[in-house]
């Protein structure tokens, strides 16, 4: 890329990320991008080629900026002479906070790409390079701890956690849960004897639920007619597949097989469509969390697991633009791992070395892995495989006294 085009793509990147931040990935089209840049579609096409080529160039430019960000953090990590799991957890917490708050617009762009990857194959290749870059960073960051799986688990954990940091990062209770989760993840999942993190987790798990502000601690959906409820199911499916920004009267009418005029009569505004679809997503999610846990098995249809992951991810992304959804995003985040914990206790005959904090860490990691591998050939079951390795390694190691780790010279 010439110096002139390189300068041009940085301007385009700023405009593109601003569009996506305001209106979602579906807003990244040539006309609004040209208008924001004060140019024409013809000039954009002349400089960068087809729309798919331009989008790939934008993602590559974002990845290059992210590379500089990650290099800065890696230099800080390597400047620490002695590395321990506790120090790594502190670094990871600061990095995720910086992604979500210090560089929020790029963090949101990355999350929007993850949400849209399954339905937009044209972004698969450039996004794949960005994902690989972040995984390489975590491998370099954790190399002195001599735990090969830690990089992969931090990569997956961060994919789900950053989107919640975007929506909830100003909440102290959320930041406490993230810090405790990363400490447990880096420390090996099984709590050490005398560990008080479980008590702290209970306090801030409850505190984050205060954002929902309902008498029974559950989301209250707006009343709908039977016809509206049926359409809401189609809208929620659209949100899960393509993200909240894909919800338009035209898209919903086509998916539900109804006339646009009829749809507009029952849902006059686009916000009405989005709210009813999110209501349906949220009620379904609450039902999933509340129903009795079933054994985790790779024979379970992957589509169901992916739907749950994508739905919770979509709610958190929508909450970055709609403050009224922050309460439910907080509730979904704090309740991560509840079903898994019940299952782990049943599996152990009523006892398990993993507490609810450990189960939450595994759940977040699983959802992050699902988002990272959505739509990939051979990606089915990658989340179970990763969680299985986490559990096996944790049980083999058990709680151990502090040990010396490699230092830099």
3-state secondary structure 66-109: HHHHHHHHHHHHHHCCECCHHHHHHHHHHHHHHHHHHCHHHHHH
Q: Which residues contact 398 (CB under 8 A, 6 or more apart)?
A: 190, 353
CA distance readout (Å), 240 to 228, 251, 282, 364: 18, 14, 11, 18
Is the pLDDT at 27 greater than 80? The verdict is yes
Quick: pLDDT tens for 241-260: 777 778 889 999 999 999 99
Confidence of residue 132 (pLDDT cuts 50, 70, 90): very high
Q: How confident is the model at residue 163 (pLDDT cuts 50, 70, 90)?
A: very high
pLDDT at 217: 55
Question: What does DSSP assign to residue 191?
Answer: P
- Residues 33-54 pLDDT 10s: 999 999 889 988 888 888 899 9
In 291-399, which ranges are continuous DSSP H helix?
302-319, 326-334, 338-347, 356-373, 382-397
Look up residue 142 and give its two tokens. 């954790």
Q: How would you class 354 by CB atoms within 10 Å of its CB: exposed for 0-12, middle for 13-18, buried for 19 or more? A: buried
| Band of pLDDT at residue 290, cut at 50, 70 and 90 | very low
Residue 338 has pLDDT above 60, yes or no: yes
**Which of the four pLDDT bands, split at 50, 70 and 90, describes residue 301?**
very low
pLDDT band for position 286 (cuts 50, 70, 90): low
CA 172 to each of CA 49, 165, 203, 267, 362: distance values in angstroms, whole numbers, following the listed order: 46, 11, 12, 37, 22
Give the single-character DSSP code of 400: -
Could you tell me what percent of the chain has a pLDDT over 90? 50
Rounded to two decimals, what is the model's pTM?
0.85
Over residues 195-209, the pLDDT tens digits come to 889 999 999 999 998
Is there a contact between 227 and 290 (Cβ–Cβ < 8 Å)? no
**Which residues lie closer than 8 Å to 194 by C-beta, 6 or more apart?**
none
Torsion of CA 280, 281, 287, 292, to 10 degrees: 150
Instruction: Work out the number of other CB atoms within 10 angstroms of the CB of residue 286.
Output: 17
Higher pLDDT, 140 or 9: 140
**Which of 131-135, 230-234, 274-278, 371-375 is predicted most confidently?**
131-135
Q: Summarize the confidence of residues 75-99 as an average pLDDT.
A: 97
């Amino acid at each position: 890329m010439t110096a002139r085009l390189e300068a041009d793509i940085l301007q385009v990147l700023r405009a593109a990320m601003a569009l996506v931040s305001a209106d979602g990935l579906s807003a990244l089209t040539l006309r609004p991008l040209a208008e924001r840049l004060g140019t024409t579609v013809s000039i954009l096409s002349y400089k960068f080629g087809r729309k798919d080529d331009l989008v790939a160039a934008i993602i590559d430019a974002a990845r290059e900026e992210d590379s500089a960000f990650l290099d800065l953090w890696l230099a800080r990590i390597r400047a620490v002479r002695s590395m321990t799991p506790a120090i790594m957890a502190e670094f990871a917490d600061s990095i995720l906070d910086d992604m979500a708050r210090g560089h929020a617009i790029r963090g949101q762009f990355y999350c929007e790409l993850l949400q849209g990857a399954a339905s937009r194959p044209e972004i698969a290749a450039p996004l794949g390079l960005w994902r690989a870059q972040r995984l390489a960073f975590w491998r370099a960051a954790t190399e002195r701890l001599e735990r090969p799986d830690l990089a992969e688990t931090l990569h997956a954990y961060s994919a789900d956690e950053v989107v919640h940091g975007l929506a909830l990062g100003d909440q102290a209770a959320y930041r406490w849960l993230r810090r405790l989760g990363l400490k447990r993840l880096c420390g090996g999942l099984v709590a050490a004897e005398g560990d008080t993190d479980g008590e702290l987790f209970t306090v801030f798990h409850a505190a984050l639920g205060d954002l929902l502000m309902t008498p029974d601690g559950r989301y209250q959906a707006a009343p709908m007619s039977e016809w509206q409820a049926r359409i809401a199911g189609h809208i929620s499916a659209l949100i899960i597949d393509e993200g909240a920004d894909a919800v338009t009267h035209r898209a919903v009418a086509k998916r539900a097989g109804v006339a646009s005029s009829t749809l507009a009569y029952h849902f006059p505004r686009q916000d009405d469509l989005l709210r009813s679809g999110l209501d349906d997503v949220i009620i379904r999610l609450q039902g999933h969390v509340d129903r009795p846990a079933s054994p985790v098995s790779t024979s379970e249809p992957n589509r169901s697991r992916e739907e749950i992951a994508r739905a919770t991810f979509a709610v958190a992304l929508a909450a970055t633009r709609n403050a009224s959804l922050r309460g439910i995003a907080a509730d979904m985040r704090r309740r991560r791992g509840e079903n898994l914990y019940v299952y782990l206790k049943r599996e152990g005959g009523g006892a398990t070395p993993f507490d609810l904090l450990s189960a939450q860490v595994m759940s977040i990691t699983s959802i992050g892995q699902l988002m990272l591998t959505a739509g990939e050939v051979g990606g089915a079951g990658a989340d179970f495989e990763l969680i299985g390795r986490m559990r096996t390694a944790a049980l083999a190691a058990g709680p151990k006294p502090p040990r010396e780790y490699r230092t830099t010279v």
